[in-house]
Structure 1
Amino acid sequence: MIIRTGIKNCLCRRNFVVLIFTAIMVILVYSMTTERMTAIRRLISKIQEKPVLCPVPISQESITPLKNTKHLLVSAFMDRRVKGFDIRIIGIFKRDSIHPLHCSFCCGSVFNETTPAKILPHSYHFSFPFGVADVLCPLPKNCDASHITLLTNPSANASEHTFIPVRNKNEKIRFNFTVCVSNLFGEYNNVLQFAQTLEMHKLLGVDRVVIYNTSCGPELDRLLQGYIQEGFLEVVPWPIDKFLKPSWGWDITKYPGDMHYFGQIATLNECMYRSMARSRYVLLNDIDEIITPYKHNNLVSMMKTLEPNYSDVGEFLIENHIFPKKHFEPSGRFHLPQWEKVPGINILEHIYRESPDRTKFHPYKLIVQPRLVEQTSVHFVVEKFGKQYKVPMDLCRIIHVRVALQGHLKLEQLNEDKRLWDFQEKLIPNVDKALKRAGLIPAEEQN
Structure 2
Amino acid sequence: MDEIKGLRRKLFLLFIITFVSIFIFTVSSSRRNRSIPNHRRATSICPSHVSDQTITPLNNTKHLLVSAFKDQRVKGFDIRIIGVFRRDSIQPLHCRFCCEGSLSITTPANILQHSDNFGFPFVATDVMCPIPENCNATHVTLLPQPESGIASNQIWLPIRNRKTNMDEEEKLQFNFTVCISNLFGDYNNVLQFAQTLEMYRLLGVGRVVIYNTSCGPELDRLLQIYSQDGFLEIVPWPIHQHLNPSKGWLFSEHGGDVHYFGQLATLNECIYRSMERSRYVLLNDIDEIIMPYQHDNLMSMMNMLEEQHPNTGVFLIKNHIFPKKHFEPSGRFHLPQWIGLPGVNILEHIYREEPSINAYHPHKMILQPRLVEQTSVHEVIKHMGNHFQVPQEICRIIHVRVALQRALTLEELNVDKRLWDFHEKLVPNVDKVLKRAGLLNSEGQG
- Superposition TM-score tier, normalisation by shorter sequence: 0.7 to 0.9
State the alpha-carbon separation in 2 of the partners of residues 357 and 386 from structure 1. Answer: 30
Q: Following TM superposition, where does structure 1 have runs of at least 4 consecutive aligned residues deviating by more than 4 angstroms?
A: none
The answer to whether the 8 Å contact 2:68/2:158 transfers is yes
2:129 equivalent among 137, 141, 144:
137
The within-5 A match list for 1:390-429 is 390-429=389-428
The within-5 A match list for 1:277-356 is 277-356=276-355
Give the aligned partner of residue 274 of structure 2.
275
Give the aligned partner of residue 114 of structure 2.
122
The answer to whether the 8 Å contact 1:193/1:288 transfers is yes
* Superposed displacement of residue 68, structure 1: 1.2
* Equivalent position SS for 2:100: coil
Instruction: Answer with 156-165 or 396-405: which moved more.
Output: 156-165
Please, what is the CA RMSD of the aligned residues? 1.4
Equivalent AA in structure 2 for residue 263 of structure 1: G
* Superposed displacement of residue 111, structure 1: 2.3
State the alpha-carbon separation in 1 of the partners of residues 341 and 44 from structure 2. Answer: 50
* Superposed displacement of residue 149, structure 1: 1.3
Instruction: Answer with 165-174 or 252-261: which moved more.
Output: 165-174
1:64 equivalent among 41, 56, 62:
56
Equivalent AA in structure 1 for residue 288 of structure 2: E
* Superposed displacement of residue 142, structure 1: 1.3
Give the aligned partner of residue 381 of structure 2.
382
Alpha-carbon deviations, 1:249-272, whole Å to 9, x = none? Answer: 112222110000000111000000
Residue 333 to residue 121, structure 1, CA distance change in 2 (3 Å): same
The answer to whether the 8 Å contact 1:112/1:158 transfers is no
The within-5 A match list for 1:11-160 is 54-160=46-152
* Superposed displacement of residue 309, structure 1: 2.6
* Superposed displacement of residue 174, structure 1: 1.1
State the alpha-carbon separation in 2 of the partners of residues 340 and 111 from structure 1. Answer: 60
* Superposed displacement of residue 53, structure 1: 7.8
Structure 1 unpaired stretches of 5+: 1-50
For the pair shown, the structure with the greater C-alpha radius of gyration is: 1
Give the aligned partner of residue 48 of structure 1.
none
State the alpha-carbon separation in 1 of the partners of residues 223 and 83 from structure 2. Answer: 27
Alpha-carbon deviations, 1:223-264, whole Å to 9, x = none? Answer: 000000010000000000000000001122221100000001
The answer to whether the 8 Å contact 1:289/1:398 transfers is yes
State the alpha-carbon separation in 1 of the partners of residues 229 and 129 from structure 2. Answer: 36
* Superposed displacement of residue 55, structure 1: 3.5
Equivalent AA in structure 1 for residue 402 of structure 2: V
The answer to whether the 8 Å contact 1:53/1:108 transfers is no
State the alpha-carbon separation in 1 of the partners of residues 68 and 47 from structure 2. Answer: 19
Alpha-carbon deviations, 1:274-330, whole Å to 9, x = none? Answer: 001111100000001000000000001101111123231111000000000000000
Give the aligned partner of residue 159 of structure 2.
166
State the alpha-carbon separation in 2 of the partners of residues 285 and 55 from structure 1. Answer: 37
- Identity rate, percent: 67
Q: Give the TM-score of the pair, scaled to structure 2.
A: 0.87
Q: Give the TM-score of the pair, scaled to structure 1.
A: 0.87
* Superposed displacement of residue 389, structure 1: 0.1
* Equivalent position SS for 1:154: coil
Give the aligned partner of residue 38 of structure 1.
none
State the alpha-carbon separation in 2 of the partners of residues 267 and 407 from structure 1. Answer: 32
* Equivalent position SS for 2:251: coil
State the alpha-carbon separation in 2 of the partners of residues 53 and 361 from structure 1. Answer: 55
Instruction: Answer with 388-397 or 161-170: which moved more.
Output: 161-170
Instruction: Answer with 212-221 or 304-313: which moved more.
Output: 304-313
State the alpha-carbon separation in 2 of the partners of residues 55 and 403 from structure 1. Answer: 50
Structure 2 unpaired stretches of 5+: 1-42
Equivalent AA in structure 2 for residue 403 of structure 1: V
The number of residues matched between the two structures is 396
* Superposed displacement of residue 445, structure 1: 3.7
* Equivalent position SS for 1:146: strand
